Structure 1
């Protein structure tokens, strides 16, 4: 029996430090992959703010991490193990998996709705709690505003910088000619960077492409740029992989 993705070529646009597991999972299912990050992750400009927050972790009741990149930025700087009595809250299974890999024992994650709104529902009332929230520059305000409205004292920390990459037009065209059966986009910002960059015939080709996205906001960002062939996947790397397999080979890809 052939693998579910044999003969297909999938583009993965995750930041470089988050693409490895998903790429390997898709390759194991038979696909060829092309990795072209649509977000560049770099250290926060204000390292002092990050250092100060890490130095006083014992003053907080809860630490919230918006993404695996936020976890990586903080844990890279830790000189001692994560405080055992400080729970970590994350918005989705990718971050939960990364937190577990980093040794965190008490992880809070929504059961179904993997976004800021879902985490707010999971956390419930936070009256009087001191919360530190680690995120990238310019993150959405839904979560910190919701926590503050629930009575929490929230400290916002920019743990890393997100920026648009420099894309090589000739390389993207070459990759389109080699074949693109689906593009995985994992953030609305990444989708916007792609279409901000693309023009002319390249933009038209990208509008006609098939996209796999784990959240409806990403689908909305793609639709706003003229793309309509969009499949919303399950969450997390395993969920994305399973959804892609099910799309291309539904008979061959029962869920494990």
Structure 2
């Protein structure tokens, strides 16, 4: 029996350090994977904010992490175990999985709506709470503003730096010629980087490509750049893989 993604070629655009599990999952379903990181992740330019927050973790009632990259950046700098009484809140299953891998025991994650709004709803009132929020440079303000409105005192920390990668037009053209049956885009920023870079015939080809995205905001960013062949997937790496498999599953003819 052939695997559900046999003969398909899927592009994964996650940052390099976050692409492994999803790539392996899709390869196990039979696809060929091409990795094209559309975000570069590096340490925060100024480490003083992060160092200060880590020196007084025990003073906080809750730590919020925007992404797996935020978790990686913070846990890489820890000089002692994570405080056992300090719960970790995340916006989606990918971050929840990474937090568990790093040894976190108390993890809060929305059950269905995997974004800042979903986490705010899950957390509810935070009157008098001290919350530290770890994110990349220039993140959305929905969570800090929402937590403050819920009564918390919020310390926002830039834990890592996001930047646009340097893309090679000849390499992308070569990969398009080799085949592109679908492109997984995991953030609106990554979608914007792709189309900020692409011009001419390459841009037209990318506008005609099929995209798999786990959130409607990413679909909106793609549509704003002229891409309209978009499938919204389930959240998390397993959900994305399952959604891609369902999309490409052959339609069985009814029995005569």
TM-score in terms of structure 1 length = 0.97
Distance 1:137 1:83 in 2: 25
Distance 1:143 1:133 in 2: 9
Aligned to 2:24: 24
Moved more, 91-100 or 74-83: 74-83
Task: Give the deviation of 1:151 after TM superposition.
Answer: 0.7
Aligned to 1:230: 230
Distance 1:219 1:142 in 2: 19
After superposition, give the CA deviation of every residue in 1:69-116 in whole Å (9 maximum; x if it has no partner): 000000001111111100000000000000000000000000000000
Task: Give the deviation of 1:62 after TM superposition.
Answer: 0.1
Task: Give the deviation of 1:244 after TM superposition.
Answer: 0.3
SS at match of 2:231: strand
After superposition, give the CA deviation of every residue in 1:129-185 in whole Å (9 maximum; x if it has no partner): 000000000000001000001110000000000000000000000000000000000
- Mapping for residues 70-81 of structure 1, pairs under 5 Å: 70-81=70-81
Task: Give the deviation of 1:250 after TM superposition.
Answer: 5.7
Aligned to 1:115: 115
Question: Is 1:129 the equivalent of 2:146?
Answer: no
Distance 1:126 1:19 in 2: 34
Task: Give the deviation of 1:249 after TM superposition.
Answer: 1.0
Distance 1:136 1:181 in 2: 31
Task: Give the deviation of 1:48 after TM superposition.
Answer: 1.2
Distance 2:183 2:25 in 1: 15
Distance 2:142 2:8 in 1: 38
Distance 2:172 2:41 in 1: 21
TM-score in terms of structure 2 length = 0.97
SS at match of 2:77: coil
Task: Give the deviation of 1:36 after TM superposition.
Answer: 0.6
Distance 1:80 1:157 in 2: 19
After superposition, give the CA deviation of every residue in 1:177-215 in whole Å (9 maximum; x if it has no partner): 000000000000000000000000000000000000000
Distance 2:47 2:26 in 1: 36
Unaligned runs of 5+ in 1: none
Aligned to 1:191: 191
Distance 1:141 1:48 in 2: 21
Across the aligned residues of Structure 1 and Structure 2, the Cα RMSD in angstroms comes to 0.9
Distance 1:183 1:107 in 2: 30
- Mapping for residues 156-195 of structure 1, pairs under 5 Å: 156-195=156-195
After superposition, give the CA deviation of every residue in 1:213-247 in whole Å (9 maximum; x if it has no partner): 00000000000000000000000000000000010
| Moved beyond 6 Å, runs of 4+ | none
Distance 1:113 1:139 in 2: 19
Aligned to 1:98: 98
Question: Is 1:217 the equivalent of 2:217?
Answer: yes
Distance 1:251 1:59 in 2: 57
